[in-house]
Structure 1
Amino acid sequence: MELVTRIADVPVRGTGNLIAIGKWDGVHLAHQAILRALVAEARRVGGQAVAVGFHPLPMQVLRPEAAPPMLQSLEERAELMAALGVDVHLALPFDRALADMTPEAFVHQVLVGQLRAQQVMVGFNNTFGRGGKGTAETMRQLCTPLGIPVHIFQPVRADGENVSSTEVRFAVAKGRMQAAARLLGRPYAVRGLVVQGDRRGRELGYPTANIRLEEGRLLPPHGVYTARVTVLGEPRKLQPPVTVTPRTGPVYGAMLNLGVRPTVGGTELRCEAHLFDFRGDLYGRELQVEFLEYMRPERAFPNLDALVAQLRADERAAREFLAGRQGAEG
């Protein structure tokens, strides 16, 4: 898949561009329904599936003080789209000029004039144009006279709620990781570089990877988690226009502590993962950490012996959870 930030860099292929528009914040199940339909229709008519979004997200520009933490990086968003078969992700740089564009100007200048849209797909609650005045129905009213079909997708429901980025954030913020996974269609994950720690875990018999997380990412509550860790390898920085493919690597079950380590007098936030059955050096490698299940809150222990005893109990619980999950999956 091609990741581009300029309309001029969108390749010209096939019978034309089929466009899906959204913020794609999290690429959750509702987003996936639109993108799968986009790809299927593009393949049917011989066109190109183009997902149009924004980077940074509009709220980060318009009201940065109220902008919620990020569910994913642009790279992660692009990889998820690539896995779904999208041909191009156009991540438009959101700025004041774009924010001030009227719905009419966006359709006539961007969708028709520059992208030459053949079809448009949007979610039921999509807004666009100055002040968010354009709605999904506005899109239909503007595009239909131009001969451009507009497909409006209705809500996708899970756990009795409409799937949305807001619901994902709520679940993650509460530590309800399995609920978040049901909304996303996959476990909630973060990525980070392994950096030098104080090696205290190694001294306790539980060596950990100290993961430096990206600022502004949504994190679950402090505590101990059962996790799954993918060793992605050397970090990469995407410089659009660029071809994006999903990154993979060896996968390990893990237990993870997210917090300040009160037993040893820590004060700064750390994300430390102990990978089960791993042997080797992870310094300088990028890891993807999937939060599978919240096990317990972080707490101070009276001494290191008590901490080690709890770590052994955590390991047993995490391994049992992972074994049960593996059995359920296959």
Structure 2
Amino acid sequence: MEVEYLQAELTATERESRPPVVLALGYFDGVHEGHQKVIQTAMAKAEKKGVEAAALTFHPHPRTVLSKDYEGKDYPELTPLPIKEARLQELGVDRLFVVTFDKTLSSLSPQQFVDGYILPLHVVHAVAGFDFSYGQFGKGNMETLSSHARGKFETTAVTKWEREGEKVSSTRIRESIESGDLEQANALLKRPHTVHGKVVKGDKRGRDIGFPTANIALDYPYVLPPIGVFCAYVQIDGTDQPAVCSFGYRPTFHEQQREPLIEAHLLSFHDDIYGKRVEMKWLTMLRPEIKFDSADALISQMESDKHTAYRYFENHMEESLR
């Protein structure tokens, strides 16, 4: 998949120098099953027309530009840009356009956006979700896109994709993760919510009390579940290793810890993995984080968490074999 980063409007003369494409439009955070329907629709139309299937997305997240709460800050995402690119490539997209989202872009009228970012890409057909919007204040939508196309391309709006009577959306998935309902989030994503990072050295407190952990420093600002203890897979060198993961402030030992840490106790893997890059797949929440009166009380609870996790993974393996 070829990736092109667009930082400014293009000119109409560039159109004929580019290969024709069917273009899927969207932010695609999570690349969930609703997004996949848009991508698959675009790919099917591209195959029928004998042209490339392309996607257009934006970076950074519009809220970092439009919301005062996130101005100058990283916005936590389900799939940060490099991960999104990998997901789209896995789906079979031939070409990806990444448009820089800034105040200049946000101030364009819907027609200006189409003239500067869609028409010059030699789009012959544009596909997006029914609720896709574009241009200043989101005034452009799938009902106006055909007129803004100036007769140069056709359009298709993909209808709402639902599960359990509710729209599948990045917002719904984000809320599920943040509330600790990982089963719901993973069902909507059609895969476990995954974060990427590097194993770094910690204070070795876990090793001292008989529960050595891998401290994972994340590569990107991800959407994360609430503070607590979880079952997770930690993928090391391409193999998923079952783990009990603590995400929190370690209040039993630390009163002033400012940032929560991710610590994974691997259940059946004991090699030295310091410095390795890993993927962590969040599976289910076992309990919230608790401050214990003593190290012995914490150890007792961790033993209980470990046995609960063993049962979870045993049942999970049995279900996968059915």
Instruction: Report the TM-score when normalising by structure 1.
Output: 0.88
Paired with 2:134 and 2:278, the residues of 1 have a C-alpha distance of 35
Q: Are residues 1:278 and 2:278 paired? A: no
Letter in 2 for 1:109: G
| Structural mapping, 1:239-258, within 5 Å | 249-258=238-247
Cα deviation, residue 2, structure 1: 2.3
Per-residue CA deviations over 1:128-176 (Å, capped at 9, x if unaligned) read 0112110111112323x51421010111111321011111111111100
Give the direction of change, closer, same or farther, for the CA distance of 1:204–1:43 in structure 2 (3 Å limit). farther
| Structural mapping, 1:2-17, within 5 Å | 2-6=2-6, 16-17=20-21
Q: Is the 8 A contact 1:14 1:48 kept in 2?
A: no
Q: Is the 8 A contact 1:193 1:285 kept in 2?
A: yes
Paired with 1:43 and 1:184, the residues of 2 have a C-alpha distance of 26
| Structural mapping, 1:95-134, within 5 Å | 95-112=102-119, 114-134=120-140
Name the SS for the 1:255 alignment partner. Answer: strand
Paired with 1:138 and 1:66, the residues of 2 have a C-alpha distance of 30
Name the SS for the 1:291 alignment partner. Answer: strand
Letter in 1 for 2:135: G
1:50 match: 54
Q: Is the 8 A contact 2:244 2:265 kept in 1?
A: yes
Q: 1:93 aligns with which of 89, 95, 100?
A: 100
Give the direction of change, closer, same or farther, for the CA distance of 1:136–1:286 in structure 2 (3 Å limit). same
Q: 2:285 aligns with which of 294, 301, 307?
A: 294
Q: 1:135 aligns with which of 137, 141, 150?
A: 141
| Structural mapping, 1:63-78, within 5 Å | 63-65=67-69, 69-78=76-85
2:25 match: 21
Paired with 1:136 and 1:44, the residues of 2 have a C-alpha distance of 22
Give the direction of change, closer, same or farther, for the CA distance of 1:279–1:301 in structure 2 (3 Å limit). same
Name the SS for the 2:97 alignment partner. Answer: strand
Q: Is the 8 A contact 2:173 2:189 kept in 1?
A: yes
1:264 match: 253
Cα deviation, residue 109, structure 1: 2.9
Paired with 1:14 and 1:4, the residues of 2 have a C-alpha distance of 12
Superposition CA RMSD, Å: 2.3
Q: 2:87 aligns with which of 73, 76, 80?
A: 80
Relative to structure 2, which stretch is displaced further, 34-43 or 85-94?
34-43
2:66 match: 62
2:45 match: 41
Q: Is the 8 A contact 1:127 1:133 kept in 2?
A: yes
Letter in 2 for 1:126: F
Aligned length: 311
| Structural mapping, 1:189-268, within 5 Å | 189-214=194-219, 216-231=221-236, 249-266=238-255, 267-268=257-258
Relative to structure 2, which stretch is displaced further, 14-23 or 311-320?
14-23
Name the SS for the 1:198 alignment partner. Answer: coil
Letter in 2 for 1:89: L
Q: 2:157 aligns with which of 145, 152, 176?
A: 152
Paired with 1:14 and 1:45, the residues of 2 have a C-alpha distance of 16
Cα deviation, residue 213, structure 1: 2.4
Relative to structure 2, which stretch is displaced further, 131-140 or 299-308?
299-308
- % identical aligned pairs: 34
Give the direction of change, closer, same or farther, for the CA distance of 1:272–1:97 in structure 2 (3 Å limit). same
Name the SS for the 1:146 alignment partner. Answer: coil
Name the SS for the 1:39 alignment partner. Answer: helix
Q: Is the 8 A contact 2:80 2:220 kept in 1?
A: no
Cα deviation, residue 179, structure 1: 0.7
Cα deviation, residue 192, structure 1: 1.7
Q: Is the 8 A contact 1:191 1:288 kept in 2?
A: yes
